[in-house]
Homo-oligomer: A and B are copies of this chain.
Amino acid sequence: MHADKKAVVLLSGGLDSITVLALAQQQGYRCYALSFDYSQRHHSELAAARQLAAAAAVDEHRVINIDIGQFGGSALTDASIAVPEALAEGIPVTYVPARNTVFLSLALAWAEVLGACDIFIGVNAVDYSGYPDCRHGFIQAFETMANLATRAAVEGGRLTIHTPLIDMSKAEIIRTGMALGVDYASTVSCYQADEQGRACGVCDSCRLRAAGFSAAGIADPTRYRS
């Protein structure tokens, strides 16, 4: 247990990040949840993040506005690029340029102000192998960089990036969260959820999620549009 140890936890409002938050709390961290309003296509994900942070009774929840959508280049932030409805080879068009680098950098800034030495992020290298910034090598390199970047680095502190889900299948993630009492009905994973947070059922994220519940042998609590 890490009583009184603070951790910054990246919380998107999806299935993975709420599982990570539950794991960090189980390990005894005081959790500071961080979400981003980055002109993603829908805001129901952020509404879910707020609801989940409140339900988990985190020490604090912040939502940072950051206009990476103005750079374009992703179906998640650029309305002119369609969200695909079938899995494809290579890096998906739903990849947001340098997103995890930007998110982890902001988590690092908050961690430094809080005096936290731990950051949790729900990246997964199994289902998101096409996303360069979900891989082990990237996370390790970010941690090395972070340990040279901050006041703590100068003063002898040691920052750790925790990625408890990185090697889990979606079914394992779901079983882990269920054992910790996570309410997945409140999470939004869909890339094009409607304003009520109801899922399309056909995008990559919906397919991975539905297959995960099926493989875990757990009834899918997702609210679908049709």
Contact = CB atoms under 8 A, between A and B. Distances in A.
A54 interface: no
A5 interface: no
Interface stretch (A22-30, A95-103, A168-176, A204-212): A95-103
A106 interface: yes
A149 interface: yes
A91 B154 contact: yes
Interface residues of A, number: 44
A67 B70 contact: no
Interface in A149-171: 149-151, 153-155
A100 B145 CA distance: 11
B67 A65 contact: yes
A113 interface: yes
A33 to B, nearest CB: 14
Nearest to A72: B113
